[in-house]
Structure 1
Amino acid sequence: MTFTIKTEAAHGAYIHRTEGAIRIASRVIQRLLALETMGSPDMPPSIRAQLQRRDVRSRIDEVMGSGAAASMLHPTVNIGTINGGVKVNMIPSTCVFEADIRLPIGLSAETVVVKILAMLQDVPEASFEVQQAASNPANSSAPDHHLVGVIRKNAELVRGKGGAPLAIPSLGATDCKFWRYAGVPAYSFGVSPETMAAVDERVSVKEFVDLVKIQALAAGDYLMGSRDAT
């Protein structure tokens, strides 16, 4: 979302004339952070039950960092960019900032937009625009779907006992969303994210080869209608 604050400009000492766009923006940002207290009343029961499991929450925090499991139950607000002002001795007339607001499964964007409109009722200087092209509704597939069992069975076959992955939600988006929007269950199963988006991003050759084997075996079982996965 892109927020724009427009107000009167003035000399830096004339704070009696205008609050200034950046100070108004800071108030708006503080209000937006309150969105993180919202819950997700319409989260599917199977997903909520999965997120309440101790082993699932522990694995989420292990993979994505401590606190990640808790973040999946409420919106997250990141102020990614902010621009305003011309000179240090001038009260700015304009400030523009972008907020990346991620929603938990079961909470609609429409509900959050209504909440934001209420927050801004007494801030006439503020307006916002939703970046529709980047607005992807939170989505999920059932954690107990047959395909999950097929993947787990073949992962243990390739990796050995204890090598089956645990089905967990993700904070980030994947291309699974396009399948889910079309009503097709989809799951992401890949290499370890330990070095993802970091300096010297890498993965071991063995892990990659094992992954190819697991996905090929799982695809074969699923397409041939194997029902012996647990």
Structure 2
Amino acid sequence: MEPMVTDSKRLPRTTERGTYPHKSQNANEIAARLILALDEVRNMDVQTPEHIARALEGVEDVIDKVASPGASKVLQKVSLNIGTVNGGVKQNMLPGVCVVTADIRVPVGLSPDAVIAVAQSIVDRFPEADMEVIGRQEPLWSDPNHEMCKLIQRNVQELAGFTPPAIVSLPGTDARLWRGKGVPAFVYGVTPFNVAMADEYVDIEEVFHVLKTHTLSALDFLMAEK
């Protein structure tokens, strides 16, 4: 979900010299206060489904390995990223417009509509500001006790000697497209070293291991007696 917060037409669109602060409010200053207020969404209460909560117990080390250290502490919390702030035309001119974009991620157990409502209530405190929602995505998930999940775990155990726990992914994946159509979907992939930063890489042997796991799990699922 990516709410876009902008100032409204209630501020003059023309800019004034910075030496005349009494002639207009500063759109950038309003945006700065609004950004700080938006931090409240991070404190929203999340009611994690019971079987998801059980699946996540005791696997913090795995989550931190997959999604970088500290990921387990924010996995089931609302995340807020202020992506861009664009306002003003020159350092000595009062900005009449400031556009802020924010990316808010909603964890399993919380509705995007609830987060949007809280964000809107925050924006409403600033009469000069408007909010536009430019994207919305439900936090979709699949049952960790599903047959396919068990097959993947069994094949990994046989191939590599360990059983991967069923966890919730921190970043979004294309599995959401299947889940959105009512089809259970699971992700088992390589370890992303230096994920989302410079020099990101994967281990080539692990790539082949994942390919074997996918192939065997698909075969087992199709050959299983229904």
How high is the TM-score relative to the length of structure 1? 0.88
Measure the CA separation in 2 of the matches of 1:105 and 1:98.
Answer: 23
Sequence identity (%) = 36
> Does 1:13 find its partner at 2:19?
yes
Structure-to-structure mapping, 1:1-230, within 5 angstroms: 1-6=3-8, 7-8=11-12, 9-41=15-47, 43-51=48-56, 53-54=57-58, 56-132=59-135, 135-159=136-160, 161=161, 163-225=162-224
Q: In structure 2, the residue corresponding to 1:88 is in which secondary structure?
A: coil
Answer yes or no: is the 8 Å Cα contact 1:179–1:185 preserved in 2. yes
Question: Which residue identity lines up with residue 218 of structure 1 in the other structure?
Answer: S
Question: Which residue identity lines up with residue 184 of structure 2 in the other structure?
Answer: P
Answer yes or no: is the 8 Å Cα contact 2:155–2:217 preserved in 1. yes
Answer yes or no: is the 8 Å Cα contact 2:16–2:93 preserved in 1. yes
Q: In structure 1, the residue corresponding to 2:64 is in which secondary structure?
A: helix
Higher mean alpha-carbon deviation, 25-34 vs 192-201, is at 192-201
Question: Which residue identity lines up with residue 24 of structure 1 in the other structure?
Answer: I
Question: Which residue identity lines up with residue 2 of structure 1 in the other structure?
Answer: M
Measure the CA separation in 1 of the matches of 2:167 and 2:214.
Answer: 18
Answer yes or no: is the 8 Å Cα contact 1:154–1:218 preserved in 2. yes
Q: In structure 2, the residue corresponding to 1:81 is in which secondary structure?
A: strand
* Stretches of structure 2 lacking an aligned partner (at least 5 in a row): none
| Distance apart, 1:39 and its partner CA | 1.8
| Distance apart, 1:105 and its partner CA | 0.9
Q: In structure 1, the residue corresponding to 2:130 is in which secondary structure?
A: strand
Answer yes or no: is the 8 Å Cα contact 1:39–1:73 preserved in 2. no
Measure the CA separation in 2 of the matches of 1:215 and 1:116.
Answer: 41
Answer yes or no: is the 8 Å Cα contact 1:77–1:100 preserved in 2. yes
Aligned residues: 220
Measure the CA separation in 2 of the matches of 1:210 and 1:120.
Answer: 49
Measure the CA separation in 2 of the matches of 1:18 and 1:48.
Answer: 51
Answer yes or no: is the 8 Å Cα contact 2:67–2:195 preserved in 1. no
Measure the CA separation in 2 of the matches of 1:158 and 1:130.
Answer: 45
Q: In structure 1, the residue corresponding to 2:151 is in which secondary structure?
A: helix
| Distance apart, 1:226 and its partner CA | 6.3
Answer yes or no: is the 8 Å Cα contact 2:27–2:87 preserved in 1. yes
How high is the TM-score relative to the length of structure 2? 0.90
* Stretches of structure 1 lacking an aligned partner (at least 5 in a row): none
Higher mean alpha-carbon deviation, 65-74 vs 23-32, is at 65-74
| Distance apart, 1:14 and its partner CA | 2.8
Measure the CA separation in 2 of the matches of 1:198 and 1:89.
Answer: 36
Answer yes or no: is the 8 Å Cα contact 2:192–2:201 preserved in 1. no
C-alpha spacing 1:65/1:197, structure 2 compared with 1 (3 Å): closer
C-alpha spacing 1:63/1:90, structure 2 compared with 1 (3 Å): same
| Distance apart, 1:201 and its partner CA | 3.5
Answer yes or no: is the 8 Å Cα contact 1:72–1:104 preserved in 2. yes
Q: In structure 2, the residue corresponding to 1:185 is in which secondary structure?
A: coil
Measure the CA separation in 1 of the matches of 2:189 and 2:218.
Answer: 14
Q: In structure 1, the residue corresponding to 2:216 is in which secondary structure?
A: helix
